[in-house]
Amino acid sequence: MSTPEFSFRVLAQKGKARAGVIRTPHGEIETPIFMPVGTAGTVKGLTVDELAAPPLDARIILGNTYHLSLRPGTEVVAAHGGLHKMMAWNRPILTDSGGFQVFSLAALGKIDDDGVTFRSHIDGAKLRLTPERSIEIQATLGSDIAMAFDECPAGDAPPEVVAHALRRTTAWAARCLAAPRAPGQALFGIVQGGTDVALRRRHLGEIAAMDFDGIAIGGLSVGEAPAEMYRILDEFAHELPAERPRYLMGVGTPDDIRRAVAAGIDMFDCVMPTRNARNGMLFTSQGKVVISNARHRMDTGPLDPDCPCDACARYSRAYLRHLFMAQELLYMRLASLHNLTHYLRVVRALRAEILAG
């Protein structure tokens, strides 16, 4: 690995599943781990104290290069001394490179071999992202883990589009490695290849040969059927270098995470727990709950009797439903706190199972 301040150790393995520890400048991360998404420098609705306190106890969160470069702008983050200080968050941060926006905001952008030109989704202003600019922004943000700038093709993209994405992603990966980074900042490479395992293996050979501190799998959960994603993970995830953390980007449900951990993945992020919470979908040990359903109107019991979060320990399903139907802000805070607590408890339980053999 290229970054002395960053290290990874596997402590136990059961089948393909692994339990390990990542060391970063802002602390250690026990894996497998789920990273709450703080796209714009905040995990929506929650303070950093709530994120850090048990039972949620998030050890690392995620920020986004593209969004933070637009709002508040890198000059504002730099004036605070970096994203950690601006957010008042003293634990690790991983920043996405902006590469996913090549996919998600494709209608607003034009891609070429040098980079991507966007029109801002906020005001239409022109924005140019190249591998060097992405790393420059991430250096200003000061994240513990930066991501290489990549091209993420759609799940149903034709072979020629996927081939172009692989070629560009490999070329951009080398340019990211050559760009100056913040002191102590690790850099992860990203493997693409759509649903073709042979292409994934070929691209992995190119990315793994580079001096990245970790390897991510990109381009899944972007339109392909869940069964296809599971097939790729089962056949391929364990082939990522064993001595480096393996990160599955943008995935997914608790069941997706269980399947991916069993396939050998160490790190996850997804907007699902907070986005679904705001829209009334809650994950519990007894299954999904749609809080707007009329059957919860008179339910004075807890959302999840097995969950120690404030939403479950102090309030009833009926009260949560009332808050949701009345569009009270407290609902969004409690629901996000609950869903993230559930996700972190899922990965911690998986870790405990692996350590116990």
Q: Which of 211, 269, 304, 310 is catalytic?
A: 269
Rounded to an integer, the average pLDDT of 294-318 is 98
* β-bridge mates for residue 17, sequence order: 14
What are the structure tokens assigned to 121, written together? 């989704």
Flag whether pLDDT at 102 surpasses 70: no
306 in catalytic set: no
Q: Which of 49, 96, 156, 299 is catalytic?
A: 96
Let me know: does 335 contact 303? Beta carbons within 8 Å: no
- Tell me the three state secondary structure of residue 296: helix
pTM, rounded to two decimals = 0.96
Residues listed for the chain: 357
> Pairing relation of β-strands 33-35 and 27-31?
unpaired
Residue type, 40: A
pLDDT 10s digits, 57-77? 999 999 999 999 999 999 999
What does the pLDDT read at residue 121?
Answer: 78
Q: How far is CA 137 from CA 73, 128, 132, 231, 278, in A?
A: 9, 12, 9, 35, 30
What does the pLDDT read at residue 199?
Answer: 95
Let me know: does 58 contact 340? Beta carbons within 8 Å: yes
Q: CB under 8 Å to 333, separation ≥6 — which residues?
A: 45, 46
Domains and CATH numbers, the chain: 7-270 (3.20.20.105), 278-357 (no CATH)
Flag whether pLDDT at 1 surpasses 60: no
> Pairing relation of β-strands 267-269 and 33-35?
parallel
Rounded to an integer, the average pLDDT of 174-180 is 98
What are the structure tokens assigned to 186, written together? 């690790």
What are the structure tokens assigned to 355, written together? 């350590």
- Measured distance CA(95)–CA(40) in Å, rounded: 11
What does the pLDDT read at residue 105?
Answer: 64
- Tell me the three state secondary structure of residue 317: helix
- 56 or 161: whose pLDDT is higher? 56
Flag whether pLDDT at 191 surpasses 70: yes
* β-bridge mates for residue 109, sequence order: 118
Rounded to an integer, the average pLDDT of 328-351 is 98
pLDDT 10s digits, 120-169? 777 888 888 999 999 999 999 999 999 999 998 877 788 888 899 999 99
Let me know: does 258 contact 23? Beta carbons within 8 Å: no
How much is the mean pLDDT over the chain? 95
pLDDT 10s digits, 276-285? 999 999 999 9
Rounded to an integer, the average pLDDT of 32-41 is 96
**SS3 helix, strand, coil % of the chain, rounded to 5?**
40, 20, 40
What does the pLDDT read at residue 103?
Answer: 64
Classify burial at 110, counting beta carbons within 10 Å of its beta carbon; exposed 0-12, middle 13-18, buried 19 or more: exposed
Rounded to an integer, the average pLDDT of 206-229 is 94
Q: How confident is the model at residue 322 (pLDDT cuts 50, 70, 90)?
A: very high
pLDDT 10s digits, 107-119? 667 889 999 988 8
Rounded to an integer, the average pLDDT of 40-59 is 97
Classify burial at 229, counting beta carbons within 10 Å of its beta carbon; exposed 0-12, middle 13-18, buried 19 or more: buried
What does the pLDDT read at residue 306?
Answer: 97
What does the pLDDT read at residue 334?
Answer: 98
57 in catalytic set: no
Preceding peptide of 32 cis, ω within 30°: yes
Longest C-alpha distance within the chain, in Å?
A: 60
What does the pLDDT read at residue 224?
Answer: 86
What does the pLDDT read at residue 106?
Answer: 65
Task: Give the dihedral sign, CA 122/128/131/135.
Answer: negative
- Measured distance CA(39)–CA(94) in Å, rounded: 11
